[in-house]
Every structure is written in structure tokens, then in C-alpha cells.
Structure 1
């Protein structure tokens, strides 16, 4: 994580051409961006609780699948000198924005020790170029203070006398009328306080000699060998996800009935900001002809391999192999497994 702390010295970071070295932010930069916003943009800094909540909200949105894009400039000691954050959203299309995409420049901040060096201009310009050139955004909006308005005018923004703004806070929950009884929150407020988790479902295939079958990933060097499966789509149930992923990743369609072999749980970590819950179902024993007929999606996997369980140990991270072993034992014994330590990034 690019931690936000006060720079030790105002040494000016530059790239080989003498320009501020702007880079794309990742989910690991979320907290530093939020702290820059808290300290240098908002009129009143956020509490640590709100910094945590905002970080948890922003981190997954900074992924390729998310709707947030940010560009930052680091100091020589690795802290953040400046940042620019944009949020993409949909609007009804019009001739000026035919794809119906707009972006709000939500945060532009520079640490006081690094101001008047062109860092804000560099970060915002890179953000706008990316949003228009890569994301195909053509409508941009921002809220600019008086000091920043000349910069934004130079970049092409114009003022709008029609812009109006209102903040309407949620109604506070009514106080409990009975001493010692709980105060019930509205469902949408209570939902913000509970555990957030992503879910996945997998199929455990073996050959006719009960040797585990796995696929080699082209996108995850940290988890090179994987069971057939993936993340649940909205509205799916676990078995539906397992069947769909099996079809998409191998060309095989399993018919069921579903037989659960293991439930997997992982705490959040450096690789992913949410807890993970997964279910591994028995995909059955495949014949040699079925294995030869597997069709891979080249964007996800490039090899199918079948090995005795012991043969997988040297090819996988320790925790991944322990999960595979638990699934194999569940198939062999007929007793479903619970694997509760498949944590993210803590190998």
C-alpha cells in the first residue's frame, strides 16, 4: 500500500525526462488517496472510521472492472505527493456524448510540500487523457475552488451558472423508547455495517483413477493451478455458477445432482479487500477422451493437467495445496470439508 504520511523532505520526484512521474493508481493506493482527500480537500478531515469505510469502498472500484480511475505522483520515499481521482458514471446518450459516459473529477490533491510544481496539472491531465482516450468518456464535470479554477479553464472546463447542489442527509434512526432495548437501523443502513464478502463456486474433477484435474492460469502467478470455477454472477446460486464456469472454462456440462465437497472461507488481505466464501462441488470422474476433449478459454487458462495428489504439492502455494488436499479427502471419505484459512495474500 502506498501509505500516506508527511514526506520527510521536499525532494522533487522526476522521471528521466524531468517531468513529474505520474502512474496509474491500484487498489493498494485507495487509503492514501482517501487520506489526501481528507487532509487537503475536505473542509473537515474524516475520522479514522470514515477513512476505513471510504477505503473499503474505493479499493475494488480502482480495479479494471470498477468505475474509478486515479493517477498519482509518488515522492522518492514512496509516500504520495499528489493524486487525481475520477469516477465514471452513465448518462443518457446525446450527440456530444454518444456512448452515454460521463466522469466526475472527484479528488485533486497535492501535499503542501509539493505544491507549485505542476503536480496537480500533470495528474489531472493524465487522468483526463486516460478517461477520454481509453474509457471513451466525453462529458466531464468537477467542483472547483477559486484557486484551482484557472487550471481547469486551461484544461478546457467552463463554468455553468445553472449548476445547483444539495445535500439531503438521511433521517436519523429513532431513539429506542425502552431502556436497554436495541435501536433498530433501517435495512440500507444496517447493510453498511455487516461483513462484505465475494463468493465463488468450483467443480472438482478427477480422471478415472481419482487423480485431481486442474487448469493452469494465465493471469494469476500467485495461484498458478486452479480448480474449474469462478466468481458468482449477480442472481446466481452456487451450483449454477459451478455449472456455468465448468462450461465456459472446459466445454463440459455437468448435470448434477449437486454434491458439495467443501466450503472455503478466506479473510481479506493484500490481494483482495473483501472476505471470500466458496463452495466446491463434485464434478465427477472424467474419461481419458473427455479430458482430451476439454476446450480452454485462452484468456484464462493454457493447460489441463492431471496428477496424483502428491504430484501437485511442488506446483502450488502451500495454502492452495492444503485446500486441494481437503477437497480430495472429502471426495474419498464422503464427509464434506470445511477449509476456513484460504486467506488473501497472507501465504
Structure 2
């Protein structure tokens, strides 16, 4: 506690009868107690992230099996007017405390709008009575400000109002970091730490004899023959990308419902700095007339070719042919494929 949040030693005359009764806190009060501590006890208020972390820590400790006990007074608007929180902990037993339990008064706070009404006395007295009568805790400790000391002396505390304290923060090691609680980052910072990947979507076309159709690239000598498809645009879903790319690269517009043939994943490498993940959808079987009517985007592809699967092997890198084979098998068997080794330039 600090001087600005000290409980008053006595209520104003005539106010005691009107004072709302203190009630035992429940886990639902954890956030209110945390905010009272942040705003009226600590020298520097907590951030919203620390409010959340402390609330998550305190809530389960306010259950009957936890080590936290608290009493609060509710304001008329439903907020918290005052609170007192104690933490029960084991100590070596002695004749004065045979159960080997002690309690530290961790938070006593009153909202400025409700000070000098005896609220602090009410919540502290209710907490002390509960600890003694229900928990049988007879050793009680607190760290009081000079201003608050008279009230605590009236309630039975003795000794100096000040405690000696040291916070010894060790430098984290790799082992302790792994075992400690995670450090929660804002979403935009966390996003910088996660895997980066580009996403694409393709269409697998064949002729009526189930021979794969591919387009010849004018810009990628390392991937000369390609499925119809490309990189997803911002805001697109995979099937939308496949339909758009099919229209842009061939002039054909496919209709759903989408049928997924394969999911493809590639690690980054010499050719591309990010991982790649893509989906290959069934574009259907094209008639000879449809194939002849394909209109290429000559800035990307300069030839359409249809060949039996085996004849594609000599025209493609090994991993591209393996991917094509997996897609062909998925179409033939009706079982979607996972092709996880379409890596970039790591042959």
C-alpha cells in the first residue's frame, strides 16, 4: 500500500449504519481486484496485458481450493468500491500458529469516491475474521504505509509499519525461459515472429482421355511446365484464386463445387525465401474443342500441351513431376493427396 491509498482510521459519524456490507470475493471479482490494485495501490499502473495476466492468475486462486481470500464492497453502479485481498501460505508451525499457516495482506484499496466511509475497515475486518474463524490462520502479515498504520494497530497488528524488501531478478537462462510463463506479444509483433509463407491455388485439367494438360512458362526456366494457377491475391480464398487464374491464363471459367485433389507444401530455398503452401483443385475434363479454344496470356505462357503422364517426366524437374503424379493419382483414386516436398531450389 502507498500513502495515496491508505485506509482511513475511522468512518464519518452516522455513516456506519449506511455502510454496504462486505461480501466474500469470487473468481468473477478477480479483474476488479486487479484493477483496484493497479489504479490505487501500485506506484505505476499495470498495462492491459498485465491486467489480463494478473486476472488469469488470481481467478483460480479465489476458489475454495486456492490460496487467495478476499472481501469486497460493491459500489451502487456495480463497480468495486473497496477490497481486501490476503494470500495464505505455509510456514513452519509454532505454538502460536499450530496449523503452520500464515496470511499476507496483499491488497487493501478503496476507490477515491468512497473514502472516509469506513470501507477499508469493513473489508479488512471481514477478511481477518474469515481467516481466523474459517481458515484458522493466526499469523497475519502486511506492509502498511505510515498513514494506514493507525487502522491496523486498532485491528491488532503490532510492530513497524515498514518491511525490508529486496527484488532479486536473475537474468533468464535458456532453461528457465522454456519453463516460465510465455511472454504475450501484441498481435502485430507476434506476427513478425511466425512462419512466412506464400499461398497459391491451381486447377488440374485433363483431356477426355485423362491426359494431364499443362502450360509452358515464359518466365520460369526452373519450372518450365505448370498447372493452371497462381499466387493468391489479398482477400481471396483458394477456390476463388483458382477460378480467377483459370480465367486469366486460359480464358476458361470453371464452376463449383470445388473438389480438392491435393495440398502442396514447399520449404524455402535458393529460388524463394518463404515457405509455399497451395491447393490443387479438379478443373475437369476438357473436350478437344475446349482445348483448342484456350486463350493464353502470352506474358506468362506460350504453349498448351496435353500428354500421357509418363511422357511429362522428361520435360520437368523431378519434384514437379512427382507433384503432377500425386495430383493425377488423387483424381484417379478419389483420395486427396498431400505432397509435402515441393521445396524451392533444394535439389
TM-score by length of 2: 0.49
